[in-house]
Structure 1
Amino acid sequence: MTFDFAAAQGLVGRDPAAVRRRIEAMEQLLERAFTIPGTNRAVGLDAIAGLIPVAGDLVTAAMGAWIVWEARNLGMPKWQLWRMAGNVGFDTAIGAIPFVGDAFDFFFRSNSKNLAIVRKHLDRHHPSTGIIDQA
């Protein structure tokens, strides 16, 4: 018998609460996975993988597109999905520019913007998925 960690954490399922947790986990991995020592600045795989020319930006774009796909599965309006896709596309296009794109990835957090769009939708249409943050 094996322990299913994902199921234990509530990451498996098609219900809005499980989708919310998956999107939040992906956003944290992409945007806030590590804190730069000596600073209060959190970075994630989006900024780190962006240092690898072409491949890094394509991988993080695919991961960002997965968030949009999950949002589509929630039944979000097309205009919100287009807005989210635009955030990912803009991040990918500017992030692909050598040097400038690396600095841009450090400051522009498309996945955090997309998470905010998803949270707003879920808070309005599925309020039971909300989590009260504790300080």
Structure 2
Amino acid sequence: MDYELPLGTDPVSIRRRIEAMEHVLERAFTVPGTRQQFGLDALVGLVPVVGDAIAAAMGLYLVWEARNLGMSKWQLARMTANVGFDTLVGAVPVAGDLFDFLYRSNSRNLKIIRKHLDKHHPHTRVIDA
């Protein structure tokens, strides 16, 4: 997958940025000897307090991009709730760190954004070979 981040404000550029950000946050690394993937969201969340705040800010970037696409307030609220829930539970010591590996708020938010893009901007779809 090409991760060159286009700087445009058109739906195609936004889709590419969002998909690249979700990949980095949720699936950039693999646990050795397994197929379990994780990303910066889980890694940064290991740092108490500050790490969870940074992970929340990175997750809210996806919400900001969704707002730029003109998504509904309901969709933006759902996405913000996903990030908030991830941040709240992720802040619990030890159990929250495990939770960060399992609950992927950014992947959930990407799914909401893709559904919007596929409906309102179908030309942004990329068919994987």
TM-score by length of 2: 0.96
**Are 1:25 and 2:20 an aligned pair?**
yes
Alignment-mate amino acid for residue 54 of structure 2:
V
Alpha-carbon distance in structure 1 between the residues aligned to 2:69 and 2:59 = 16
Structure 1 segment 28-107 matched on structure 2, within 5 A: 28-107=23-102
- 1:46 Cα deviation (Å)? 0.7
CA-atom RMSD in angstroms: 1.0
What is the aligned residue count?
A: 127
Report the Cα offset of residue 10 of structure 1: 5.2
Give the drift of 1:96: 0.3
Q: Distance in 2 between matches of 1:67 and 1:40?
A: 26
* 2:6 match: 11
| SS of match in other structure, 2:92 | coil
Aligned match of 2:121: 126
Give the percent of matched residue pairs that are identical in Structure 1 and Structure 2.
Answer: 64
Structure 1 gaps, min length 5: 1-5
**AA matched with 2:63:** V
TM-score (norm. length: structure 1): 0.92
Which runs of no fewer than 5 residues in structure 2 stay unpaired? none
Q: Which has the larger radius of gyration?
A: 1
